[in-house]
Structure 1
């Protein structure tokens, strides 16, 4: 439902579909072109206990805010312990990933990409795909 003259919307993540990311993580896309956004994407990823996503890069800057839980932010080979309320900035092309630091509690992040056509490239395989393609049935 792309809108030509967006007036703004309120989104309710607890009512929205979560897409499986693999490795014990699920993503809920939030702001994007479907609601009229033209310059950025954001969404939430929920990690089960001990879950991690693979090391990857993007074609744009990214910022990640830890909403709940505790995590390890691995950025360009360095590991940083973070808690709810901590935020990261990751430049384009820098390898990174987030790991749930708890084996008993969940973890939730809010991510923002600086482009609506953001891509993710997996470091291990070199596979690149649009972030938005991961949120389709």
Structure 2
């Protein structure tokens, strides 16, 4: 039997399921092992007006691109006002979170993790879970 290399795919996020993350945010997982990716994960998180995710760290590097809206990127205790098109790089283990800066408009980010087995550790509780655990239900 011959192993066949995975083929590239095109994904259509507007047709994909969004998973509730709590705090007014929901995530659409995109590239990952289920489609053949072997070295990174990415997806989109949509924030309702005023929504924020808890301060957390990861076991790998992360990059976040603000696709829509205005946000506050809190990285290692510093707050940065960002607009659509701005992008961040966050090293492994650095506490961070994203906050929708608007109480009336939504916000959307594209995130990319440098490992398919990326984890999220909540700063407040120390609880660690695979990022992929948020994409079920």
Q: Note the residue ranges of structure 1 that are not aligned, 5 or more in a row.
A: none
Output the CA distance in 2 between the equivalents of 1:58 and 1:100. 21
1:5 is displaced (CA, Å) by 1.8
Output the CA distance in 2 between the equivalents of 1:130 and 1:4. 28
Q: Note the residue ranges of structure 2 that are not aligned, 5 or more in a row.
A: none
Give 2:7's aligned residue.
Answer: 7
- CA-based RMSD of the aligned residues comes to 1.0
The runs of at least 4 consecutive aligned structure 1 residues that moved more than 2 Å come to none
1:60 is displaced (CA, Å) by 0.1
Matches within 5 A, 1:1-137: 5-137=5-137
Output the CA distance in 2 between the equivalents of 1:107 and 1:16. 18
Name the SS of the counterpart of 1:10 in structure 2. coil
Aligned pair count reads 135
TM-score (norm 1): 0.97
Cα 1:4/1:59, change in 2 over 3 Å: farther
Deviation readout 1:99-131 (Å, 9 max, x if unpaired): 000000000000000000000000000000000
Cα 1:47/1:91, change in 2 over 3 Å: same
Output the CA distance in 2 between the equivalents of 1:39 and 1:134. 19
TM-score (norm 2): 0.97
1:133 is displaced (CA, Å) by 1.1
